[in-house]
Chains A and B, each alone.
Chain A
Amino acid sequence: MCLYEEAHGVDASHPIFQGPFPVTLTLHDMATPAHYRRHPDGQQLGDTMPAWNVVRGKAGRYVGVVADGYGFEDSPDAEWIASGRNSKNARAAALARQGNFFHWGFAASPPEMTDEAQTVFLNTMVYMRRFAGQRPLAVGKGRSREWLSVYLASPDGLSDYTKKEMPAAWREAAGDDLSKLRQLCAAELGFVHQVDGHWQVDADCKALGLDNRLAASLRACAELLRDDTLRAAASRVLERYTGQHFAGADDWQHWLTDAGERLFHSDVIGHFAVAPADCAAPHRARSD
């Protein structure tokens, strides 16, 4: 239990802030929690962050819950909408959706909510109605590989836990040299995958120079099947990350073409999957 009164990092372009009931979020400057800076995406934060009060006054004993924000949007069923002042990190999700489930992490009951939060809750009910019959797609125990970067960014250095989390190949190459481990992480994060619950470097992806999170890498592998010297590695990558088995390059091309934009990779499941055709396109925060 770790989420308090205020939301921050709010994606105000999300439909729950657009209507049907109009709402103008009243923002204030919130002192940036010191522990946010222990994480990579917290180190660039200023002294204050724009925040929106969800809870009227101070949160009572019953505080809220944040979800793991790292990798949250690596599948098309998921939308990260806002964080909130919490004891974990600046990326933790306070408002988020996966499939037909909406995470309203704030624990306040309606009379404890601000008027604006009540309005947004009503908007959220209207928004969620459209997801009737849709299910979460990325369901599993896997954690985002982004956590490897988080562990290595810790100002406390290399803990025993961090050592255990690192891929064996990185530990063999860098030992306890934190700087070298960070370099390896920056260079090879796209090649790692989980094997029996442990992160490992996928030698095939590394040899081919292909990021195993990208659908473009699968399409490149389908082309490489026509190359006698690279066919074996490309075939292993295709099968490992899709669970599919086809006779040759043409069949793979057809399957990948059929999957099209619905193909996605999630660290939660550790491989690619194809979203159903009726999966609603997720809202993504505008970058401008």
Chain B
Amino acid sequence: MRLLLAPLLLAPVLAAQTAPKLELKVLYAGVPDDPRTEQWREFLAPRTKGFTVLDVEQLGDDTVTDADIVILDCPDPIVRNAAGNPERIKVPRPRNLTAAFGHPTIVVGGMALITDHLELKSNWL
């Protein structure tokens, strides 16, 4: 088995300063200007070999990346009216993503609407 951790520290809390670095490159496909993107960067950049951001609407089967893991994420997709009540759902759509996309992908929260459209089992119930 390939060694993924260097060095392995058995600390229960993986503080960024002491966390072992994963031998993984991450492509974070989200909304670049949203504060979530920076929060993911702060979490993953110190813990991985590489952290790259892509506008999720630019993601497609033909996206060229050397990333080991793709994270699909978006801000709260519920659009609310002035009173704060939900009005509609707006999830950013990757321009050309199909079920043939071959990269290991973690789909976070509301981006399940995308896998729902791809008719995967990980749908939006």
Binding site for B on A (CB under 8 A): 1-2, 20-24, 61-62, 64-68, 72, 75, 78, 88, 92-93, 96-111, 115, 118-119, 121-122, 124-126, 128-136, 138-141, 268
Pick from B39, B89, B109, B123: contact of A106, CB under 8 Å:
B109
Choice from A98, A107, A110, A133 contacting B122 with Cβ under 8 Å: A98
- Whether the Cβ atoms of B122 and A61 lie closer than 8 Å is no
Residue numbers in A under 8 Å from B103 (CB-CB): 100, 132
Determine which of A126, A131, A135, A139 lies in contact with B4 in the assembled complex, contact meaning CB atoms within 8 Å. Answer: A126
Q: Could you tell me if A103 and B122 are in contact, using CB atoms closer than 8 angstroms? A: yes
A-contact bits for B4-17, CB 8 A (1 contact / 0 none): 11001010111000
**Measured between alpha carbons, how far is A65 from B114 in the docked complex, in Å?**
12
A210 to chain B, nearest CB (A): 25
| Chain A neighbourhood of B59, CB < 8 A | none
B residues near A67, Cβ cutoff 8 Å: 112, 121-125
Say whether B109 contacts A110, CB under 8 Å. Answer: no
With a cutoff of 8 Å between Cβ atoms, the chain A residues found around residue B92 in the complex are: none
Q: Are B75 and A62 in contact (CB under 8 A)?
A: yes
C-alpha spacing A141/B118, complex, angstroms: 9
Q: Across the interface, do A61 and B76 meet the contact criterion of CB distance under 8 Å?
A: yes
Taking CB atoms and an 8 Å cut-off, the chain B residues in 85-125 that contact chain A are 89, 99-110, 112-113, 115, 118-125
Q: Is the CB of A66 within 8 A of B99?
A: no
Do A65 and B106 touch across chains, with their CB atoms under 8 A apart? no
Interface pair A62/B124, CB less than 8 Å apart: no
Q: How far is the CB of A73 from chain B (nearest CB, A)?
A: 9
- Known contacts A96-B121, A139-B118; decide if A107 and B5 are in contact (CB<8 Å): no
Interchain CA distance A153-B26 in the complex, whole Å = 45
Q: Given A125-B22, A268-B121, decide whether A107 and B108 contact each other with a Cβ distance below 8 A.
A: yes
Measured in the bound complex, the distance between the Cα atoms of B109 and A180 in whole Å is 41
Q: Which 10 A-B pairs have CB atoms at the shortest separation, nearest pair first?
A: A107-B109, A62-B76, A103-B122, A110-B43, A128-B104, A65-B112, A109-B39, A102-B106, A67-B122, A98-B121
Residues on the B chain within 8 Å of A129, using CB: 24, 68-69, 104
Please, which residue of chain A has its CB at the minimum distance from the CB of B105? A101
A121 to chain B, nearest CB (A): 8
Task: Give the shortest distance, in Å, between A145 (CB) and chain B (any CB).
Answer: 15
Residues of A within 8 Å of B89, CB to CB, are 1
**Closest chain B residue to A96 by CB distance?**
B122
Contact B40 A125 (CB under 8 A): no
Give A245 to B36 CA distance when docked, in angstroms. Answer: 53
Residues of A within 8 A of B124 (CB): 65, 67
A281 to chain B, nearest CB (A): 16
A115–B115 CB distance below 8 A: no
Least Cβ distance of A71 to chain B in Å?
Answer: 8
CA distance A88 to B42 in the complex (A): 33
* Min distance, Cβ A206 to any Cβ of chain B, angstroms: 28
CA–CA, A122 to B24, complex, Å? 10
Cα distance A126–B102 in the bound complex, in angstroms: 16
B104 contacts A98, C-beta separation under 8 Å: no
Contact, CB under 8 Å: A125 / B24: yes
Q: Are B22 and A122 in contact (CB under 8 A)?
A: yes
